[in-house]
Chain A
């Protein structure tokens, strides 16, 4: 194993994280706060008719037990998930786990004990509506592209095709399961509210709280330097956050709330199961004549969450006829939410599995098949690509993996009892871009400080900020101080959708460039300029960046087809008797614009590959349709990859620069890594066993049931 240290800037926030001094939300000192535990509904439907709280109220150390009647009405701002405890809902139960009471006590032990004493009566529970039985529906207000998009005549394209493949694929319900359960600390000082939270957007949380409590935006301060992982489940605002602030308001005492691991499975979203059908027609040389991709995903009864699983099928491959259709199905379940990687994560599993099926049906090598279908311009819209280096990813990754040594025949490679399978898939991710502002300051002694109201979720953003600022100003990146995670700093939008390097990075670039101009005007060059900055002793510049006019709500370009790309190659080993699938190695190449810090960028991709391995082999949050609930609300029943599941991962970036995405030439990477690996592994399992598994995850039971093992 190569243990040489890789190149790139070490994380500036590293020492704090390594010594236990980095402060996460639940680490906020209580300082007289009450400890809060939520009590959840034990049924998925019906009405709450009575809540018995006397025993809990009388338990030692309990200061209050709050129910819906005790809480103020809280109007919901944008992207706030429905607040089921509101009085107006009349006791309606929408999902198992829905908060019905808050227990406040001195210490976790006492709060936990008292929470167990709360009893509830329910009426009118009914059989839940489940995914398999619910009808397809269209979102009321699509947040993504239109649900249906077409070009050309798919029926004609299929009729004229030399080869047609068509199959249905499913992806499972999955939970984000960040290692840090969500936690919120809230304190009121008169009309001013201070909240320590674990959120992917302190600004959105600030907006939600000021809207809910009818106080000015500036009266709410949200602090969140570090998030212990989010992966989407801390992106929107969830009920427990508002409930914590409400509890602090009505009791007049600070409140510290942490969700339990079990509550993480019902309180802040999941990636819903999808059912997708892909139909491909190709001519004798493997060039597509038609592509149809339809998808349906589970949504909650009142919610509209859509997985844009079909979106990438409009830009991946050249085809004269394309048809995509996206549907949701309203079911009794907690609200789903975007999860790494949304849309393309589930969608590319289906499309890239189908491409592999087409490769076998036509007898064309899977890499070659993709190269033959490489488009000149966006296949649906005809827009130019802002940058697209998929070809380089495919060729270089194939070379590094040793693809040419593969014998394409299924079950043709073996090592003792183990069947060896080599599979590959392309990857792509949409490009979301959000506005941000930043302030850069330099002191007379040359000390540089960057301030931005963003938050560090693990992507290494502080190092990216330091790198960009030091590049512009010509300083040592290690000497740049970066401040973040506080709404008192210049605002930035969500750390979500792989957007932070573009948004925050471009704002830092703009502010640093402006500061450099100011220094030039003063006749100062270089950083050794003690005393030359006048009486103030420092100079600063604040600037912002946002996607150009005409971009859509999510900052997606309407001028260019703007995406990131990659190619993933996987070797699996399948125990021919036990049906156990293990990933032995992966090679993946990515094109995602300019890479700012290669050290942390590589970690993003290897982490993403592990998410793909989880999608392919492990992660399945089983939903019990009779009881209307997730079955294994813990990390023993819901299995995520452990160290021993992840092999050597060979990751590289190809040269890419996207001049249209932003001034840095960079695009997003955090989610791209989680796309493609799922299909590459499934395709490798087919190569190993000769059996096509179209439902992920592929556990031992599924592999055995498919007869994939002998």
Chain B
């Protein structure tokens, strides 16, 4: 079975141009990030779209990278959890997760963070119930859910208080 597509796949990840020589056409964006580009922040919890651990941003939208073929991301802007902090400064959402203890084992956390940032940006963080609903695609078996909800509400409230500062203040390309 011929599985090699073309000599090189070009991706833009966290603002950087990256090359993947001899890509496998079947490779998901998740496996490509993790195994070819050394970006292991996005996690593989199920590899079939059920858990959200692999969530990344594709042109600013949250997507499941395990259900996205790498070749389909060729012209898009990919942002992973590694791209949230800037110059060693945690993103406001990362800071809120730390302060609210919104993670335990940390395995779902990269996906939760990417979803959380998108959730605020989508305008779906207006109330705790709305946050719970729009964050329910990201499973957390440690069940840090109340803390995740509180962290997002905190970031959303502060963003609303200061309209001039966008929700993703604190840096980051996302």
Q: How far is the CB of B1 from chain A (nearest CB, A)?
A: 6
Task: Name the CB-closest residue of A to B53.
Answer: A179
Check A108–B46 contact: CB distance below 8 A. Answer: no
Check A646–B106 contact: CB distance below 8 A. Answer: no
Contacts of B106 in A (CB 8 A): 13, 16-18, 22, 226, 228, 458
In the complex, chain A residues 89-142 whose Cβ is within 8 Å of any chain B Cβ = 107-110, 113
The 8 closest A-B pairs by CB, nearest first: A20-B41, A228-B107, A458-B105, A17-B106, A610-B143, A458-B104, A27-B40, A20-B81
Is the C-beta of B62 less than 8 angstroms from some C-beta in chain A?
Answer: no
Is the C-beta of A150 less than 8 angstroms from some C-beta in chain B?
Answer: no
Complex Cα distance A186/B93, Å? 36
Q: Mark B91-116, 1 if CB is under 8 A from A, else 0.
A: 00010011111011111111001000
Q: Mark A446-463, 1 if CB is under 8 A from B, else 0.
A: 000000000011111000
Q: How far is the CB of A257 from chain B (nearest CB, A)?
A: 13
Check B45–A181 contact: CB distance below 8 A. Answer: yes
Complex Cα distance A464/B66, Å? 35
Check B141–A179 contact: CB distance below 8 A. Answer: yes
Q: How far is the CB of A683 from chain B (nearest CB, A)?
A: 21
Given A14-B97, A606-B147, 7 extra CB contacts under 8 A: A19-B90, A27-B40, A30-B35, A178-B107, A179-B45, A603-B104, A635-B51
Number of A-B contacts (CB under 8 A): 208
Complex Cα distance A472/B144, Å? 30
Task: Name the CB-closest residue of A to B38.
Answer: A29
Is the C-beta of B58 less than 8 angstroms from some C-beta in chain A?
Answer: no
Check A640–B141 contact: CB distance below 8 A. Answer: yes
Interface centre among A30, A59, A110, A635 (most CB of B within 10 A): A635
Check B141–A636 contact: CB distance below 8 A. Answer: no
Check B146–A648 contact: CB distance below 8 A. Answer: yes
- Listed in ascending order, the chain B residues whose CB lies under 8 Å from chain A are 1, 3, 24, 26-27, 31, 34-35, 38-48, 50-51, 53, 80-82, 84-85, 90, 94, 97-101, 103-110, 113, 128-129, 131-133, 135-150, 153-154, 157
Given contacts A18-B113, A602-B101, A643-B149, contact A1 B139 (CB under 8 A): no
Task: Name the CB-closest residue of B to A231.
Answer: B141
Q: How far is the CB of B126 from chain A (nearest CB, A)?
A: 12
Q: How far is the CB of A306 from chain B (nearest CB, A)?
A: 25
Q: How far is the CB of B115 from chain A (nearest CB, A)?
A: 10
Check B150–A180 contact: CB distance below 8 A. Answer: no
Is the C-beta of A258 less than 8 angstroms from some C-beta in chain B?
Answer: yes
Tally A residues with Cβ within 8 Å of B: 72
Is the C-beta of A470 less than 8 angstroms from some C-beta in chain B?
Answer: no
Given contacts A5-B99, A24-B43, contact A108 B31 (CB under 8 A): yes
Is the C-beta of A607 less than 8 angstroms from some C-beta in chain B?
Answer: yes
Contacts of A460 in B (CB 8 A): 101, 104
Is the C-beta of A15 less than 8 angstroms from some C-beta in chain B?
Answer: yes
Contact of A607 among B110, B128, B143 (CB under 8 A): B143
Contact of B82 among A19, A26, A458 (CB under 8 A): A19
Q: How far is the CB of A355 from chain B (nearest CB, A)?
A: 26
Q: Mark A586-617, 1 if CB is under 8 A from B, else 0.
A: 00000000000001101110110111000000
Contact of A110 among B3, B136, B143 (CB under 8 A): B3
Contacts of B138 in A (CB 8 A): 643
Check B133–A179 contact: CB distance below 8 A. Answer: no
Given contacts A26-B44, A179-B43, A646-B145, contact A109 B107 (CB under 8 A): no
Contacts of B147 in A (CB 8 A): 603, 606
Contacts of A602 in B (CB 8 A): 101
Contact of B34 among A15, A27, A110 (CB under 8 A): A27
